[in-house]
Structure 1
Amino acid sequence: MEQKQPDPTSDDAMDSFLEKFRSQPYRGGFREDKWEEEFDKIPLFMKKAPSEIDPKENPDLACLQSIIFDEERSLEEQAKTYKDEGNDYFKEKDYKKAVVSYTEGLKKKCADPDLNAVLYTNRAAAHFYLGNFRSALNDVVAARKLKPSHLKAVIRGVLCHLELKNFTEAVNWCDEGLQIDPEEKKLLEMRVKADKLKRTEQRDMRKAKVQEKKEQSKNEALLQIIKERGIRLASEAAGEEEDSDSDDLGELLLDGLSSENPYGARLSADDNGRLSWPVLFLYPEYAQSDFISAFHEDSRFIDHLMVMFGETPSWDLEQKYRPDKLEVYFEDPDGTDLYRVPPQSALLPVLQHPRYRVKALTPAFLVCVGSSPFCKNYLKGRKVCQVK
């Protein structure tokens, strides 16, 4: 005979349940020392939701999420839910998560163009606050395709163009927005600002062109002076030795004349057409160098050496680099032979030497102590010629 199960609602059944409850300890309670941590696991009390929800670790939260984003709901409802979630993140200034939410809403590809336009516009706002101005602009363009009269998209587009310094486009967008609402105060204000910036940019461009033309004329004059001096130039950028009468090299040199030397100086001419060069002195023994920003072509090498070595440099531990002991050399274009420069010589006749080439518009010379073992070893096996 089948034994009848007690009715769950009967007094006997309730007494049985309570008795079992008293006899077995409850294992789901909070521990006193970890009550804050336990509370943070409950969706209602969470201070911050996890970025990724594992159903095994957070079953309650996963359940709530499945209710909110129920795939059985219409695409419009799901997209709107993501929009609302993105808005919440936006209010909290969590713009990265807002972008993710709006993107998920757009992925639903619902049939409501107005909702999609809002999603694009809101994502543009989040991108804007993240500094992603180009992405923000792309979004407002997409929003306007869906809803051309969407004024928020126009306003945010103007803001993007201003940040990207597209002032002409910013004015055009303002005009298009004012056709929708001629009284829109923000558009009226931004149009004044954009038009002012546009005019300033155009003025600066005109000034830059005038300055560029002046610089071009100045550089052409410098190049002509160099040719008249009979100074031969070479460009490292050319990849091979070329004389200064080469048209291609002339273009390279004109570009180079417009730029400062890496050390902060460039070739210049005085009112009498006399040149001052940026010059580099190299000390191979100690891998050191000196840079002279303006070596006048009529100045002598000894004059500069007296200034540079009036005091012993910190790297000259033996105190042997004294002006009267120094020898100056330059290498020929092939880098094989060396030419010794008399210290009493001025710069110009050395630059006019038939075997000298000025590279990168910066003459360079080697300097060492003539009586030192290093100098003797450095010159060993190389042909040394005297500059007259």
Structure 2
Amino acid sequence: MASSEAQYDSEDEGMDMFMDKFKSERYKKGFNESNWEEEFDKVPMFMKTAPEEIDPQEYPELACIQAILHDEDRSPEEQAMSLKDEGNAFFKEKKYEKAIVAYTAGLKRKCGDQELDTVLLTNRAAAQFHLGNIRSALNDAVAAKRIKPDHLKALTRGVQCCIQLRNYTEALKWCEEGLKAHPTDKKLLELRAAADKHKRAAERDARKAKAKEKKLHGVKEALLAAIKDRGIKLLQPVKSAQRGSDSDDEDEGSSAAISELSLDGLSSQEVTGAQVFLDEHGSLHWPVLFLYPEHQQSDFISAFCENNCFIDHLAVMFGEELPPWDTDRKYHPQNLQVYFEDEKNETLNQVPPETSLLEVLKHQRFFVKGGTPSFIILVNGSSFRKQFLSGKKIKGL
């Protein structure tokens, strides 16, 4: 009896000491005016949002709850249900990646509850959809519909995915399946109307594109026919004109290039932004390049009509106002000579300025390169002309 009294006396003494200390020293781990909001945020009941990572030391209560939710001793159905709720919480916070992880973990429990599995799949489809993973969302909707063919959310999500993937025919199939089970569902009716509208628009655009392609093909065919009828020879780019064996006959190679041509040898758009075209009167208009080697300058004519003469353009370019690089003021139309180069024969062919472009293009030694005929312009009687032509063979047209 005496020992018991001594024990109680000792405990009372300890309590008295604790109370005396509590009165003299402030409790440091309690809530205060500066930290109460921070401390409340650590209590699961008062949390506004769940932390990204749960540290048991910092959030012991939340770690405990999480352990209970994922308790392996609980049934697979209970675990799957808890994971579904966890995923829903993440979904509401727009943390779709974490929601997907939770829904996937729930599906892995293989609880055997078809209703719950369907919900997990449709919820995961929604999260995938919000992340832009449309194909994955559709796969989940398909899997959910396989379990429960009349599940409204699975059907609705399937339609939305097909519309996003622009597979409007498939979207309408989903709608018809859904409306058989839910004939008055407003969402499905709206989606069917939207899918039908998109399908009609896509078909209309396809028809327009096909008609445009057909028209363009007709224009190209007419253009090629006009070039061939005139006997104009085209040289395609080296990469397009390469053949199994070399040919010494350039004319023959050029004719073959024309017969095989799909406008590759005509396109100069990459360099100049212009291309030969056939007008409504049946005349060809060519992009033409004038080169002035004396000053390393050039002029580009985007549409030189084949019936126009060289002097017509020279009179415009060197009329009243001469170019600034012509410091000697000698580039007058009547002083200019026109040449084209025959590379194979290493010859310059002189073209009278009164000659039409078509006459030159039909010349047996003229070849259109890269879709753009080019000509050299020299000043008659100039010292540069004499030096430039020195040692070269000159022929007349």
> What interval of TM-score do these two structures reach, taking the shorter chain for normalisation?
0.7 to 0.9
Runs (5+) with no aligned partner, structure 2: 244-252
Q: Which residue of 2 aligns with 1:269?
A: 278
Letter in 2 for 1:348: L
Q: Distance in 2 between matches of 1:149 and 1:319?
A: 86
Q: Distance in 2 between matches of 1:82 and 1:288?
A: 75
TM-score by length of 1: 0.74
2:361 matched to 1:351? yes
Q: Which residue of 2 aligns with 1:79?
A: 80
Q: Distance in 2 between matches of 1:285 and 1:9?
A: 117
Superposed CA offset, 1:78-132 (max 9, x none)? 3322322332333344444433433343344433332222222122223333333
- Name the % identity: 52
Q: Distance in 2 between matches of 1:94 and 1:69?
A: 20
Q: Distance in 1 between matches of 2:396 and 2:61?
A: 92
Runs (5+) with no aligned partner, structure 1: none
Alpha-carbon distance, 1:279 to partner: 4.2
Task: Give SS of 1:51's match.
Answer: coil
Q: Distance in 1 between matches of 2:347 and 2:287?
A: 24
Alignment of 1:25-104 (within 5 A): 26-29=27-30, 40=41, 43=44, 45-55=46-56, 58-104=59-105
Q: Relative to structure 2, which stretch is displaced further, 137-146 or 79-88?
A: 79-88
Alpha-carbon distance, 1:380 to partner: 10
1:238 pairs with one of 240, 255, 263: 240
Q: Distance in 2 between matches of 1:62 and 1:193?
A: 47
Task: Give SS of 1:243's match.
Answer: helix
2:222 matched to 1:214? no
Q: Distance in 1 between matches of 2:204 and 2:220?
A: 24
Sort the Cα spacing of 1:176 and 1:365 in 2 relative to 1 into closer, same or farther, 3 A.
same
Q: Distance in 2 between matches of 1:75 and 1:287?
A: 84
Q: Which residue of 2 aligns with 1:113?
A: 114
Alpha-carbon distance, 1:268 to partner: 2.1
Sort the Cα spacing of 1:364 and 1:170 in 2 relative to 1 into closer, same or farther, 3 A.
same
Task: Give SS of 1:276's match.
Answer: strand
Alpha-carbon distance, 1:14 to partner: 1.8
Q: Which residue of 1 aligns with 2:260?
A: 249
Task: Give SS of 2:254's match.
Answer: coil
Sort the Cα spacing of 1:308 and 1:16 in 2 relative to 1 into closer, same or farther, 3 A.
farther
Q: Relative to structure 2, which stretch is displaced further, 57-66 or 175-184?
A: 57-66
Q: Distance in 2 between matches of 1:104 and 1:381?
A: 86
Q: Is contact 1:340-1:384 (8 Å) kept?
A: no
Q: Relative to structure 2, which stretch is displaced further, 29-38 or 272-281?
A: 29-38
Letter in 2 for 1:276: H
Q: Is contact 1:328-1:365 (8 Å) kept?
A: no
Q: Which residue of 1 aligns with 2:372?
A: 363
Q: Distance in 2 between matches of 1:216 and 1:162?
A: 32
Q: Distance in 2 between matches of 1:286 and 1:74?
A: 90
Q: Relative to structure 2, which stretch is displaced further, 58-67 or 82-91?
A: 58-67
Q: Relative to structure 2, which stretch is displaced further, 158-167 or 60-69?
A: 60-69
Count residues in correspondence. Answer: 377
Find the structure with the greater CA-based Rg: 2
Alpha-carbon distance, 1:266 to partner: 3.7
Q: Is contact 2:234-2:254 (8 Å) kept?
A: yes
2:198 matched to 1:197? yes
